Copies of this chain bind each other. A is one copy, B any other.
Amino acid sequence: MERTRHQGMAKNTYMRWRLPLVCLLWEVAMIVLFGVFVRFSPEADAHWEEEKQEMNLTSDMENDFYFRYPSFQDVHVMIFVGFGFLMTFLKRYGFGAVGFNFLLAAFGIQWALLMQGWFHSFKNGKILIGVENLINADFCVGSVCIAFGAILGKTSPIQLLVMTLFQVTLFSVNEYILLNLLHVKDAGGSMTIHTFGAYFGLTVTRILYRPNLEQSKDKQGSVYHSDLFAMIGTLYLWMYWPSFNSAISEHGDAQHRSAINTYCSLAACVLTTMAFSSMLQKKGKLDMVHIQNATLAGGVAVGTSAEMMLTPYGSLIVGSISGIVSTVGYVYFTPFLESRLHIQDTCGIHNLHAMPGLIGGIVGAITAAAATEDVYGKEGFIKAFDFTGVYQTRTPSVQGGFQAAGIVVSLLMAFAGGAIVGGILKLPIWGDAASENCFEDEVYWEVPEDEESDVYHMHNPDKPASP
């Protein structure tokens, strides 16, 4: 270990004052802002009894809590266990993967409650929050977790917090443009979460390009058990994705339909991923990297359209294609992006989020453009696309056009935002590690001496015990 430590001295990765300062200042700011702005929504406020009478509700069951809380918890698991453990595949970066993901997400959801609140839940000078706000905050932070995947192992915790601060802000602006100005549907966030998050992260990692990263190449792989830990993340993301895509859909059929479409898409995606993983490897063996990641592309790719009448077979088609695209991406595009475009994408988010996110946006635009009153029913048609008020006269094909515009806006926001934030993160004050110490927990974490050999085989009884 001495070697690692000494070389680490080349760059100042000392966090003792910087990290606490950022965290504490931030938390104080949150307390002040929450104190000024954040209150409970009527459904979470103790005045609910009066609210119920006013709204003529006969049952507590009508509280939005019961429509959305189970989905919220599933989404919560995806953000913290799903993304956290998915990234533990690196042999010596498990603490950083799960720990920094924990840190940035906990940091980000507070800021997201404020930012999204100002845009969407602001009433009489107060942000009124309920369970749907919690889901949206988790969603917003999800896009940061995605971007984290591109720079995993190469950044300091402070860089992650700075990135989170800016990305949450930009996410909220982009989301506002899409949902409110363009009146776009994107319940599962193919555009707002995946396309935006992934291209943002890819732009950041491009700007933070490390020419000497091959110095830590020996640590940029997995070991047997770290691949199993990563599968915990994969499976929770895969299983709960139907909840993700349906969590903020309209009550009733829309939530129901989103879950079914996503379930179908993901099932198909597993098969095409396995097929191409085996096909693209000379020995025909399956590659854990593909199974851990590309199997999830089906969830991303129906993010926009899941609540529409995509139909189960439509979902199978989208899922199948996205699994293929994603696996092919891991085999051919990732090396290309690294060698030619200098985009070092640790987790391959280009394959798991960027391309499937684009597919998702396009499928959403097509599905919206193809919608008819016949398929949706008269009321269902209006409800599905919220063609009320000023949007009363919008036609499906116009909606499709706006959906497509949403993709473009998300891309532009991602590239511009990523470039600016990447530039900020390049400043030499954030404490990132030298290239030969990337992908190594030792830099920012107290790592236990590995005493396995001692305890298991007792072959070295003289070695001093770990503290």
When C-beta atoms are compared, the residue in chain B nearest to A284 turns out to be B16
Interface residues of A in 238-297 (CB under 8 A from B): 238-240, 242-243, 251-257, 259-260, 263-264, 266-272, 274-276, 278-279, 281-288, 291, 295
A98 contact set on B, CB distance < 8 A: 228, 231, 235
Name the 9 nearest CB pairs between A and B, nearest first: A16-B284, A46-B380, A48-B253, A106-B270, A60-B252, A34-B313, A23-B275, A20-B275, A218-B465
Interface residues of A in 46-102 (CB under 8 A from B): 46-50, 52, 59-67, 69-71, 73-74, 76-77, 80-81, 84-85, 88, 91-92, 94-95, 98-99, 102
A65 contact set on B, CB distance < 8 A: 252, 255-256, 259
Interface residues of A in 447-462 (CB under 8 A from B): 447-458
A35 on the interface (CB 8 Å rule)? Answer: yes
Nearest chain B CB to A148 CB, angstrom units: 15
Docked complex Cα distance between A44 and B59 (Å)? 20
In the complex, the answer to whether A131 meets B256 with C-beta atoms within 8 Å is yes
A1 on the interface (CB 8 Å rule)? Answer: yes
When C-beta atoms are compared, the residue in chain B nearest to A40 turns out to be B257
In the complex, the answer to whether B103 meets A40 with C-beta atoms within 8 Å is no
A225 contact set on B, CB distance < 8 A: 94, 225, 229
In the complex, the answer to whether A236 meets B81 with C-beta atoms within 8 Å is yes
In the complex, the answer to whether A49 meets B270 with C-beta atoms within 8 Å is no
Among the 9-residue stretches A168-176, A180-188, A345-353, A371-379, the one with 4 or more Cβ atoms under 8 Å from chain B is A371-379
A and B contact pairs by CB, cutoff 8 A, 25 listed: A15-B284, A19-B279, A20-B274, A20-B278, A24-B271, A38-B313, A39-B311, A40-B253, A45-B380, A46-B309, A47-B376, A49-B379, A50-B379, A63-B256, A81-B235, A85-B232, A91-B451, A94-B225, A95-B228, A95-B288, A103-B271, A110-B268, A134-B263, A221-B465, A223-B448
A11 on the interface (CB 8 Å rule)? Answer: no
When C-beta atoms are compared, the residue in chain B nearest to A42 turns out to be B253
Nearest chain B CB to A287 CB, angstrom units: 5
Contacts A24-B275, A48-B253, A61-B62 known; A239 to B291 CB distance under 8 Å?
no
A381 on the interface (CB 8 Å rule)? Answer: yes
When C-beta atoms are compared, the residue in chain B nearest to A133 turns out to be B260
A202 on the interface (CB 8 Å rule)? Answer: no
A218 contact set on B, CB distance < 8 A: 451, 454-455, 465-466
Of the candidates B257, B270, B279, B380, the one whose C-beta lies within 8 Å of that of A102 is B270
Docked complex Cα distance between A384 and B225 (Å)? 47
A317 on the interface (CB 8 Å rule)? Answer: yes
A389 on the interface (CB 8 Å rule)? Answer: no
Docked complex Cα distance between A106 and B235 (Å)? 12
In the complex, the answer to whether B238 meets A80 with C-beta atoms within 8 Å is yes
In the complex, the answer to whether B134 meets A80 with C-beta atoms within 8 Å is no
Nearest chain B CB to A389 CB, angstrom units: 18
